[in-house]
Amino acid sequence: MTLKTPVMTPEQFDAWVLQPEQADKSYEFIAGEIVEKMVSNSESSYIGYNIGAAIHNYAREHDSGRISGEQAGFMVNGERYIPDVGYISKARQPVRNKDAYNPLAPDLVVEVISPTDRPKNLSRKIANYLAAGVVVWVVLPDDLQIDVYIPGQPVEVLGIEDRLDGGNVLPGFSLPVKTAFAD
C-alpha cells in the first residue's frame, strides 16, 4: 500500500522511518513515495524461506556472505527496498551492517510475488536493482516459475523442472526450482 504522502528525499525518508510511531511496520521508499511493506501470504513467505535457507547453507559452507530476510532493507540508487531475501558477499561487506537500510546494494535479491505487490513498484525495483548490478530472482508462485534477471542479459524464465543457478554471485550454487515450491 502506497501511503498518501508528498514526495520526499531519501534523507527525509530515513529520518521519518526511524520515528517511534513507525517502529512496528516496514516501509520501502520507491520513486519518492513511502510504500508500506504489507504482510504477504504464508505461501510467499514459505517460498522465500526455502530459497533463503538454500542460499544461507551455501553461504555458510563457502563462508562467502550474509543472508537477510523480509525485515532487512537495502539502499539502491537512492531508494530503500526490503526484498524477501537478500545476499551480500563478505568481499563487498566484510563486517555485518547494523543500519536500518544497508547502505550497500545487495549482490542478489529474491522477490516472491504476493497478492499485495504492485506491478509498477516491482518493475521500478527490478530496473533499479539491475542498474546497481544486482541479480534479481522474481518468484511467481501462481505460475511455479522463477524469472532470473542478470544485469546486461535477457531475462531467463525457469519452470518447475529447471534448476536455479548461482552464476557469478554464488558460484556452484544450484537449486531445483521445484524445491523452492516444495511443501
Q: How far is residue 113's CA from residue 40's CA, in Å, rounded to a whole number?
A: 9
Tens-digit pLDDT profile for residues 53-97: 999 999 999 999 999 888 788 999 999 999 999 999 999 998 888
Domain boundaries along the sequence of the chain: 39-181
**With bands split at pLDDT 50, 70 and 90, how would you rate the model's confidence at 114?**
confident
Q: Which of 122, 120, 162, 126 minimizes the C-alpha distance to 145?
A: 162
> What does the pLDDT average to over 10-25?
80
> Do residues 96 and 88 make contact, with C-beta atoms less than 8 angstroms apart?
no
pLDDT tens across 160-173, in order?
999 999 999 999 99
Q: Please tell me the predicted confidence (pLDDT) of residue 64.
A: 95
Mean pLDDT over each residue of the chain, to the nearest integer: 89
Cβ–Cβ under 8 Å, residues 161 and 177: yes
Phi, psi of 69, deg, nearest 5 = -105, -160
Question: Running DSSP on this structure, what letter comes out for residue 43?
Answer: H
Rounded to the nearest 10°, the torsion over CA 13, 14, 16, 21 is: 130
pLDDT band at 107 (very low <50, low <70, confident <90, very high): very high
**Cα dihedral across residues 99, 110, 66, 56: positive or negative:** positive
- φ, ψ of residue 99 in degrees (nearest 5): -75, 160
Fold classification of 39-181 is tt1808, chain A (3.90.1570)
Rounded to whole angstroms, how far apart are CA atoms 97 and 99?
Answer: 6
- 0.85 cut: is pTM over it? yes
- pLDDT tens sequence across 19-55: 888 777 778 788 888 887 766 677 888 899 999 999 9
